Amino acid sequence: MGNGFLGNDASFMLDVVVCALVAVVPALLFSIYLVKFKRNYLLHRNLQVTLGVVLLLTVAAFEVDLQVVHGGWENIVKNARGEDWVNTPAFAQVRNVLWIHLVFAISTPLMWAFTIILALKRFPSPPTPGEHSGLHKKLGWISAIDITLTSVTGLLFYYLAFIAAG
Ligand code: HEM
């Protein structure tokens, strides 16, 4: 069952999502750099919409695989660590980290959808700064921080569940 490609006995889709979580942060930093320092609003819009769609498709495929194919994350962890590992303090810690991760992982798509839909409606095409700028900058920074925390906590979960000793 552990058919991941990163060598940690995780599932294939978990390894795909880990790669996406690592890639999204520099892509986002580049997009914010483009808009803030290069004033390239069009490329910023296109990059953000592409990132949003790719992340949504990746996470949807991940969730279907996780719940339907593997029957939940605990089965994947048991496969990698053995049945008894779920009774250890290390497993309890992994579960706590997962709860924290879920707070960000659930709010992020909602914030991103809201930020993107409002921006597409209220900025002209091609986009230029305007009346929506003030609200968009706030939503944009919240969305950016939210996904960064999703990434950091998701990677911490993966590390504790599949890589760390114990
Ligand atoms: C989740 C998706 C998005 C995120 C996270 C995001 C993030 C940001 C951030 C953080 C800024 C402010 C940078 C600064 O401090 O100067 C910004 C500016 C801007 N964004 Fe986005 N953005 C997103 C989607 C979009 C979309 C879809 C559009 C166009 C339809 C857009 C158009 C703009 C424009 C025009 C500005 C410049 C505002 C100004 O300086 O007056 N953004 N964005």
DSSP letters along 31-48, please? HHHHHHHS--HHHHHHHH
Specify the ligand 1 atom closest to the Cα of 122: 30
- pLDDT exceeding 90 applies to what percent of the chain? 97
Cβ of 101 below 6 Å from ligand 1: no
Angle formed at CA 78 by CA 3 and CA 64, multiple of 5 degrees? 55
Identify the band that residue 1 occupies on the pLDDT scale cut at 50, 70 and 90.
very low
Per-residue pLDDT, averaged over 43-62, amounts to 97
Cβ of 108 below 6 Å from ligand 1: no
Angle formed at CA 58 by CA 67 and CA 145, multiple of 5 degrees? 105
Question: What are the tens digits of pLDDT across the range 23-37?
Answer: 999 999 999 999 999
Question: Residue 151 corresponds to which tokens in the numbers above?
Answer: 């990434």
Question: What are the tens digits of pLDDT across the range 107-128?
Answer: 999 999 999 999 999 999 999 9
> For the whole model, what pTM was predicted?
0.96
Contact 34, 44 (CB under 8 A): yes
Cβ of 144 below 6 Å from ligand 1: yes
Contact 28, 49 (CB under 8 A): no
Q: Which residue ranges make up each domain of the chain?
A: 12-163
